[in-house]
Structure 1
Amino acid sequence: MAAYRYGVSNRATAAIATATLIDFGLITPEDQNLVTDKNKVARARQKHRNKTQHKEMVEVIDVTGIYFDGRHDKALSNIAINGKCRTQTSVEEHIIVIDQKSRHLFHTTLEPGHGINIASSIYSHLQKNGLRKRILLVGCDGTNVNAGWKNGSIVNLERILSRELQWSVCLLHNNELPLRHLFEYFDGKTSGPNSFSCPIGKSLKKTSLRFL
């Protein structure tokens, strides 16, 4: 498990394990039965992979709902221009999908800003993991990309599945809109996330908070 976690090769893992057993006195010149080689490490890794995959398949059986969220990240990629390799920065959207018990199911990377892309990517993973017919509920935040009535990711997923799903949508983004419009109506648009530039904002800077 540690070899997987830190990306250590089979040969290096075998050398570390053998050296540790020698330090503890479990391997001696007379008794070398516990000497570890790379083939033994490879067999142990394969056994661990099979055990983990079987456990995940058993746990996936009870999945009936999925929740997903994403964020935009900058990614570096190498492209060839006129025979020269150059580094290019692009924006990618990383989507994380969990089940109703907060267990990680899968993650995917796609182009940002399109609900159909999110829905298609989620569907392909559901199909791959045998969850297409089991999913009854989908949860996400309330942005238009996800919860839009016409072309949101949930609507597109329902179209691909040819059936309706139960929605579990976080209303945080919807609830902040009335308060935002109220501030913009009385104080004008803000110049940044932490600043107010018109009368109300300037007055707030001169007042102190009082708890009643």
Structure 2
Amino acid sequence: MISEKMNNYIDVLTGSAFIKSRKLEKGILEITYFNSYQEFKGMKSNTKITEGDYNNYFKTGNQTQKILVGEPARLLRKFPELTCVVMVLFNNKFFVERDNLNKLIGIDISSLSVEDTTWIENYANKYIVNKNGREQLFNQINKFSEDIFKIQANSDIKLNELLKWMNESIDKGELKITLDGSIVNVPSNEVSKEEKVRSKTIIYLVQGALRSIGDKAMSSLLESDIAHSIKEFFEGFLN
């Protein structure tokens, strides 16, 4: 059961007016946003929010990015009992696991505070407020996806196995993902800490997006034409 304190906090998240449901089970909090204005209006018939207001709110994609990047981290910072936050937005699920997030940003998210500005300095300004940073990250995923398709097309390795190998190679300092999202092999131990974090971030987002579609869909996807199926999936997720 979600506590009153957590419910009150969810009520003031970005886009909270459009939250359809929330549930908590074994440390995993799932928040689902309305999929359309019609669905929103159907459950909130007395709302003064118009369809134009709803469409304009999500029109540029900035709000969607802010929700996905910012709100799970806010919740994990505030509530240490949470192990994972799942955001369901326009039929796409976005998983943010506490341990993975801590590794990606190089700091315990729970240690950040609004009062001493560490939350603002070490997370909000870097990953939520900075528009260029958000756009760059999503552009990286597009370029990264293209390189993945090229690698997979020339081998028999399945995508999930390829991502696992890439994770291990990044940890060893033998592989990095550049600012434009390209996958580059490098001499051992010539990858900086910053490059490792950026590379792991992209891998993490790709794996999270794949997990979100479920085991059955994943199995079907990996047995199909991976290059086109995954590309279409990510284009739909990012647009």
Q: TM-score category by the smaller chain?
A: under 0.3
**Structure 2-normalised TM-score?**
0.24
Pick the structure with more helix per residue: 2
**Structure 1-normalised TM-score?**
0.26
Higher relative contact order (CA closer than 8 Å, sequence separation 6+):
2
Pick the structure with more strand per residue: 1
Q: Which structure has the larger Rg over C-alpha atoms? A: 1
